Amino acid sequence: MAVAILAYLLKANVVLALFAAAYYGLLRGLTFFGLNRAYLLLALLFAAVYPALPVPALLPAPALPALPVVARLASPGPVGTAPDAGFDWALLALGVYAAGAAGLLLRLLGQLGSLALVQARSRPSWALGQPVRVLPGAGGPFSFGRTVYVSEAALADAASLPAALRHEQAHVHQLHTLDVLLVQAGTALAWLNPAAWLLRRAVLDNLEYLADRAALRAGLDRRAYQYSLLRQQPGGVPAPALAFHFSFPTLKNRIVMLNQPISTTRQLGRYLLAAPLVMAVALAYTGARAQMPAAATKQSTPTDALYYLDGQPSTQAAFKTLDPNSIGSIDVVKDHATISRIFNSTAPSVVAMTTRANANSPAVLALAEQANLSGAYTYTPAQVNAVVPKALTYITSHYPDSRLSGEVTEVKRKSTGEVKYQVQLITGRRPFYVFFSPQGDFLAQ
């Protein structure tokens, strides 16, 4: 589980890095602020969804002979022993990552709490025909959600108040707070990735550009608006971290973008390059990775093995010509005593492949019965309560460092109807199987 979560996080963070690189390389200087907003939100949402997409289905690759079912038969290990687990580094790494994310999410909750305190300290009022909430003392206007907050000192500043209010109302009307909450949560969950912090800065800056443009479109003079920005002074009542408020670090960028020439329609082509290219690269990479196991399987069949196809002697070349969708199961036998007794051979291993069409043919069933292959049994998922207390007691006493995965399978021999239960145990992150009779007697590992 830890490995799967880390793989998800790795994919999501790589995609965030690709989107950030494309934004800062192609889109950051454009004045299509609405499109930039859509791009940045797409980056966050796609990174969250992409690792869970069924990419092989979206990007089918050429069919490769795969191993749908593999049963490996070898000499059983000593009863009562389990595989060496080793230290679970994946679980440790996930724990550290989760601790960092939890800390930032708690900080986000604290920031929301500080906004609630500000709301409680303010009083409702009107300024220039707009509903606001007034705070005692000094400080610049700021907004969050559907509310604009104005200090008593800012309310008395008749020169700067109109521009500031129109700017904050733009944040309110365009629902910019939703972007802020999304990017703050995304940064917390991807806190170890510098690209997440870069995208956070890009989102916040772009929202300021959108509000500045909306304020100018409301009829304010461009030069007078810039002077009003320069006259604003931070201090006094501190604005909560999540709120939109005046900040000197962003002032230079805002002035630059206010004077930036309007981007031409030809530059819209950059959006057709940025987002689709990033998504195509990500999907193609995952699709290629998804096909690697099948390709590796194709090349992993040993050249010195003895091959059987549908219960009859065959060759490795014949295996490679099969349609992978026709394969039902593959058994690999490595127990030398079984190979010598059943197959009358000194080969190091036997690979027995069964096609779906011939799964119940007499030759397949006969060979499976003789060599104890998977075809001699039927496998049915069972409930955990199929493992009786006697078996659970045995597991507790002989495998104290292991845990039940919850995967229990009823294994029934076709020829006799004899039933046993296969129970998956996990030590560290390594699974292994033990077998019990229906009465709970230990049979094999």
Residue 68 tokens, joined: 């749908």
Beta strand segments in 85-197, E = 123-127, 130-135, 142-144, 147-151
Please give the pLDDT value at position 99.
95
Please give the pLDDT value at position 75.
37
The SS3 assignment for 324 reads helix
- 422: amino acid identity, one letter: Q
**Residue 208 neighbours by CB distance under 10 Å:** 22
Please give the pLDDT value at position 81.
35
Q: Are 346 and 334 in contact (CB under 8 A)?
A: no
H-assigned helices in 82-123: 89-121
Q: Are 421 and 411 in contact (CB under 8 A)?
A: yes
Of 18-27, 183-192, 222-231, least confident by mean pLDDT is 222-231
For 324-357, the pLDDT digits (tens) are 778 888 888 888 888 888 888 888 888 888 888 8
Q: In this prediction, what percent of the chain has a pLDDT beyond 70?
A: 83
The SS3 assignment for 73 reads strand
The model's confidence at residue 63, banded by pLDDT at 50, 70 and 90, is very low
The SS3 assignment for 80 reads coil
Report the b/e string of 11-36 with b at 16+ CB within 10 A.
bbbbbbbbbbebbeebbeebbbbebb
Please give the pLDDT value at position 232.
65
Please give the pLDDT value at position 72.
41
Please give the pLDDT value at position 175.
93
Please give the pLDDT value at position 236.
46
Averaged confidence pLDDT in the chain: 81
Residue extents of the structural domains in the chain: 2-53+87-280, 301-444
Give all strands of the β-sheet with 312-314 in edge-to-edge order.
70-73, 327-333, 350-355, 306-309, 312-314
More confident residue, 310 or 248: 310
The model's confidence at residue 184, banded by pLDDT at 50, 70 and 90, is very high
Torsion from C-alpha of 121, 124, 126, 130, nearest 10 degrees: 90
**Which of 422, 403, 400 is CA-nearest to residue 411?**
422
* In the predicted structure, residue 206 carries a pLDDT above the cut 90: yes
* In the predicted structure, residue 246 carries a pLDDT above the cut 80: no
Average pLDDT on 27-41 reads 93
Residue 373 tokens, joined: 């292959």
**Which of 330, 322, 321, 286 is CA-nearest to residue 61?**
286
* In the predicted structure, residue 37 carries a pLDDT above the cut 90: yes
Residue 249 tokens, joined: 């670090």
**Which of 384, 398, 387, 401 is CA-nearest to residue 437?**
387
* In the predicted structure, residue 295 carries a pLDDT above the cut 50: no
Query: Around 91, how many Cα atoms within 13 Å sit in the side-chain half-sphere?
Result: 9
Q: Are 209 and 229 in contact (CB under 8 A)?
A: no
Report the b/e string of 389-401 with b at 16+ CB within 10 A.
eebeebbeeebee
Q: Which residues contact 145 (CB under 8 A, 6 or more apart)?
A: 172, 177
* In the predicted structure, residue 277 carries a pLDDT above the cut 50: yes
Residue 231 parent element (H or E): helix 222-231
Report the b/e string of 103-132 with b at 16+ CB within 10 A.
ebeeebeeeeebbeebeeebeeeebeeeeb
Query: Around 290, how many Cα atoms within 13 Å sit in the side-chain half-sphere?
Result: 19
Query: Around 282, how many Cα atoms within 13 Å sit in the side-chain half-sphere?
Result: 27
